[in-house]
Amino acid sequence: MTLKPLFDRVVVKMTEAEETTKSGIILTGSAKEKPQLAEVIAVGDGSARDGKTTCMKVNVGDKVLLSKYAGTEVKVDGVEYIIVNMGDILAVAE
């Protein structure tokens, strides 16, 4: 099954959190911060909603930085995704 987001929504898949720090310290599961970097999997068409048209600024495959607790988590075919509004995407990582 594939997901096709509606309006100004974007489907992303979170990247894995770092297991070690830059100095080589191995982190336990509880010590890791929630990752905020994700890959764009699907993008809505940005059509008008509530009288406002949203311009979609991301494309499939982009790496993006999200607000810390943004979106709705969903699981499809055993894979976890997050559906976020375009406004919850803070930046594109290049």
Task: Determine the pLDDT at residue 60.
Answer: 96
Question: Could you count the other beta carbons within 10 Å of the beta carbon of residue 5?
Answer: 20
Residue 19 pLDDT: 57
Q: What is the structure's pLDDT at 61?
A: 95
**Domain 9-16+33-93 annotated CATH 3.40.50.2300:** no
Of 35, 7, 32, 2, the closest CA to residue 20 belongs to 32
Would you list the domain boundaries of the chain? 9-16+33-93
Asked whether the beta carbons of 54 and 7 are under 8 A apart, the reply is yes
pLDDT tens sequence across 30-80: 444 556 899 999 999 888 777 777 789 999 999 999 988 889 999 999 999
Q: Is the pLDDT of residue 84 over 70?
A: yes
Residue with tokens 């959190």: 17
- State the pLDDT at residue 68: 84
User: Token match 């699907």: residue?
Assistant: 42
pTM for the model stands at 0.78
